[in-house]
Amino acid sequence: MKCGEILGFLGPNGAGKTTTIRCLLDLIRPQAGTVRVLGIDPRKDPVAVRSRVGYLPGELNLEGNLTVEGVLRYFNDLRGRRVEWGYVRQLASRLDLNLSIPIKNLSKGNKQKVGLVQALMARPELLLLDEPTSGLDPLMQQEVYRLLREAQANGATVFFSSHVISEVEALADRVAIIREGVIVEEVEPGSLTDLSLRRIRVRFREPVDVKPLVELDGVSLVARDGREVTVQVEGEVDRLIKALAAFPVSDIQTQHLSLEEVFLAYYRVGEKEER
Amino acid sequence: MLAEFKHTLRRLRGPVVGWALGVALYGLLMALMFPSIKQIENLEEFMSLYPEEMTAFFENLYAMATPMGYLDVYFFAYMHLVIGILAISGGAGLLAADEERGILDLVLAHPVSRTGLFWGRFLGLAVALALILAAGWLSWVLPAGSVGFELTPFEILLPFLPLFAVLLFFAALALLLSMLVPAARSAGMLTGAVLVGNFLLIGLSNINDDLEPLMKFTPLYYYQGGLAVEGLEGSWLGGLLLAALLLAAVAWLLFLHRDIRVGGERSWVLPRIGRRFRLRQRG
């Protein structure tokens, strides 16, 4: 990773995103290979690594009996009380988080906000965030993106995992794609559009011959039911839309495929080509 | 380490207050009842009505009219079983319970070493147990003068020391087992079984002399109970404390060298050792 960049770590469930992050913090030990975080081997000096890192786990669990403030003060104690409490209040306010509520009474989204505040509050040099916007509503997701960009502007490096392509596109400077524990590709966020697959359902006013449509590059027929046709489009939809202009279309529905489905389609093709 | 120590005490605040109140109230009640037992003139004759096995099982029944015997029979003979519940559950859950709930993952992502976390928490548990015993001690010391309990505060303190040592031993055993068995509750149950089994065997060894040589290999053999009022066996006390520290040290080493789970219970360690061995052979 380059210092000061935001790296998106993209992969389907079980690809090894969380495992990688946990190795970086010496929570689990790799069976082979080496790890360096900010130039330090986390196995040799985990405390030095952790004092410069803010971490948000993918499965966030907190002590239910403490209040939000109690949990954050405990984490501040573990950091040697280095945290400026005014900044904690500012973060909580921006994320619309009430500090006096017991953790056990918080919704999943609000717990995620606690996780984000504790990761950011010490202004760490490196942020390791596992699915940072999980459980947050779209408006709050935007606020998190702003907070992370501000952290970057202040010199922090951000490493975040996600399985949401649009999130990685919106936030990352660079994207690493992981599959079965191996980085299979490093790409620019813009090129993720090429990776994205859409399923488009078109209803025509009258029966039509769809051959010109499915012969378009990157378009394949998924299903046909009377006057309704479902096609899968790889990359941009521009060609299909222009081709459809010549047809009597009554309705169009677009559906983005999940990352798992994209990976399944994308890498299955890759594997066949390799063979 | 200090942060974890303070946090452990904070978390144990509720149990400590509850247990301390319970132990103190019980101690106070028993202390206030001492004059009525002391006044029984033909206690030995009364005791002889009990089956011989029973008086042998509870060793000091005949000495019940003396402060030392009374303390032993009504408090120290089974207080290690009672407070042992807290010591064992505390030890078994000290790290494993947080790990099972997925809390440890985030705690250890902060600048705290595993060593600091481990010993900070262990020390916190030890202090929590000591605070409960201090409340128990006070419950005997405060009414001592008014009920004719002819023991000094220091003499009353003496049997609390082996009690603390034995509680720490079982807390450390539970902690060690929590590093080996799949779940905190399994570690607690196993340690509890060892404690209760040892208690019964010690009692039975008073009836059956053949058992006595075996008892030397069990921790409760070195627990003096109320007899410590007459003089503390320093080597027994030191041995129990040393054994507790040794168990805790082994648990610490295991904790240093293992992966932290995100949550849930894990599988048995022994099959994993076998798997590692097979992998090494293949490698």
pLDDT, tens digit, 9 for 90 and up, residues B213-270: 888 999 999 999 888 998 899 999 999 999 999 999 999 999 999 888 886 667 665 5
Amino acid at B82: V
Cβ distance of B109 and A28 shorter than 8 Å: no
Residues of B in contact with A55 (CB under 8 A): 106, 109
Whether the full predicted model's pTM is greater than 0.90, yes or no, is no
- Report pLDDT for A72: 96
Per-residue pLDDT band for B201 (boundaries 50, 70, 90) equals very high
| Lowest-pLDDT choice from A154-163, A262-271, B199-208 | A262-271
Domain ranges of chain B: 2-282
Pairing, β A249-256 against β A157-162:
unpaired
Cβ distance of B110 and A50 shorter than 8 Å: yes
Per-residue pLDDT band for B283 (boundaries 50, 70, 90) equals very low
The pLDDT > 90 percentage for chain B reads 64
Cβ distance of A29 and B260 shorter than 8 Å: no
Q: Quote the CA–CA distance of B131 and B29 in Å, as a whole number.
A: 19
Rounded to a whole number of angstroms, the distance from the CA of B93 to the nearest CA of chain A is 14
| Lowest-pLDDT choice from A1-15, A103-117, A124-138, B80-94 | A1-15
Rounded to a whole number of angstroms, the distance from the CA of A96 to the nearest CA of chain B is 22
Mean pLDDT value across residues B45-59: 71
- Report pLDDT for A186: 84
Residues of A in contact with B278 (CB under 8 A): none
Chain A / chain B CB contacts < 8 angstroms: 67
- Report pLDDT for B279: 54
Cβ distance of A60 and B6 shorter than 8 Å: no
Kindly identify which residue of chain B lies nearest to residue A50, measuring between CA atoms. Answer: B111
Mean pLDDT value across residues A247-257: 86
Mean pLDDT value across residues B98-121: 94
- Report pLDDT for B281: 53
Cβ distance of A59 and B6 shorter than 8 Å: no
Most confident of A191-200, B33-42, B72-81, B272-281: B72-81
What SS3 string covers chain B? CHHHHHHHHHHCHHHHHHHHHHHHHHHHHHHHHHHHHHCCCCHHHHHHCCCHHHHHHCCCHHHCCCHHHHHHHHHHCCHHHHHHHHHHHHHHHCCHHHHHCCCHHHHCCCCCCHHHHHHHHHHHHHHHHHHHHHHHHHHHHHHHCCCCCCCCHHHHHCCHHHHHHHHHHHHHHHHHHHHHCCCHHHHHHHHHHHHHHHHHHHHHHCCCHHHHHHHCCCHHHHCCHHHHHHCCCHHHHHHHHHHHHHHHHHHHHHHHCCCCCCCCCCCCHHHHHHHHHHHHHHC
Residue B113 has its nearest CB partner, among A28, A46, A75, at A46
Per-residue pLDDT band for B147 (boundaries 50, 70, 90) equals confident
Q: What is the pLDDT of residues A222-237, one digit of tens each?
A: 888 889 999 988 878 8
In the numeric block, the tokens 């009996």 are attached to A65
Cβ distance of B102 and A51 shorter than 8 Å: no
- Report pLDDT for A254: 85
| Lowest-pLDDT choice from A6-20, A115-129, A136-150, B42-56 | B42-56
Q: Which of A97, A94, A125 is nearest to A109 (CA)?
A: A97
In the numeric block, the tokens 């058992």 are attached to B211
Q: Quote the CA–CA distance of A133 and A103 in Å, as a whole number.
A: 18
| Lowest-pLDDT choice from A22-31, A191-200, B79-88, B269-278 | B269-278
Is pLDDT at A50 greater than 80 in this prediction?
A: yes
Cβ distance of A47 and B112 shorter than 8 Å: yes
Mean pLDDT value across residues A186-200: 74
Residues of B in contact with A28 (CB under 8 A): 259-260
Residues of A in contact with B263 (CB under 8 A): 59, 61
